[in-house]
């Protein structure tokens, strides 16, 4: 079942790409309440990535720090509204973001065609 969901997510993604999901607007919300930062470590190695489709619960407006460790540069795709593209380099790259709308937001690698984490925003 999970495989089907992943395939669907990728298809959704491909459609989104066709309709031009290239504009990334970082939605920083100053004046939000201070909550603990949720740190998610993502490790790319060759053609694999950890985690792989794991669900992570976050609060709306909570600061999320993505710490990407990679052996080569690439890009994460966050299926929030609006969508975000997060480039990373070889080595360790740390990026912060917040999600304001409740729902499930996929974080994907289009290079590997996988869903890395699903952020469950509540
Ligand atoms: Cu995508």
Residue 71 in this model has a pLDDT that exceeds 80: yes
pLDDT (tens digit per residue) in 15-54: 554 444 545 555 555 555 557 999 999 999 999 999 999 9
Q: What is the pLDDT of residue 30?
A: 55
Give yes or no for a contact between 12 and 77, defined as CB atoms under 8 angstroms apart.
no
Q: Provide the pLDDT confidence category of residue 101 given band limits of 50, 70 and 90.
A: very high
Give yes or no for a contact between 66 and 97, defined as CB atoms under 8 angstroms apart.
yes
Supply the pTM of this predicted model: 0.72
Count CA atoms closer than 13 A to 110's CA, side-chain side: 18
Give yes or no for a contact between 19 and 44, defined as CB atoms under 8 angstroms apart.
no
DSSP SS3 for 5: helix
Mean pLDDT of the chain: 84
Kindly report the backbone phi and psi dihedral angles of residue 47, in degrees, each rounded to the nearest multiple of 5, phi listed first.
-100, 15
Q: What is the pLDDT of residue 35?
A: 75
* Torsion 41-72-88-54 (CA) sign: negative
CA 30 / ligand 1 centre spacing (Å): 26
CA 52 / ligand 1 centre spacing (Å): 14
Kind plus residue range of the DSSP H or E element containing 11? helix 2-18
CA 119 / ligand 1 centre spacing (Å): 13
CA 109 / ligand 1 centre spacing (Å): 7
Q: What is the pLDDT of residue 122?
A: 96
Query: What percent of the chain shows pLDDT beyond 70?
Result: 72
Mean pLDDT of 51-72: 97
């Amino acid at each position: 079942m999970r495989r089907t969901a992943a395939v669907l997510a990728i298809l959704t993604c491909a459609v989104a790409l066709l309709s031009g999901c290239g504009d990334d607007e970082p939605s920083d919300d100053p004046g939000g309440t201070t909550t603990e930062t949720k740190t998610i470590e993502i490790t790319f190695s060759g053609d694999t990535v950890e985690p792989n489709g794991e669900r992570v619960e976050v609060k709306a407006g909570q600061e999320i720090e993505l710490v990407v460790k990679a052996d080569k540069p690439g890009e994460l795709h966050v299926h929030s509204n609006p969508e975000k593209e997060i480039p990373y380099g070889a080595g360790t790259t740390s990026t912060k973001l917040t999600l304001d709308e409740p729902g499930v937001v996929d974080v994907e690698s289009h290079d590997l065609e996988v869903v890395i984490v699903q952020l469950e925003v509540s």
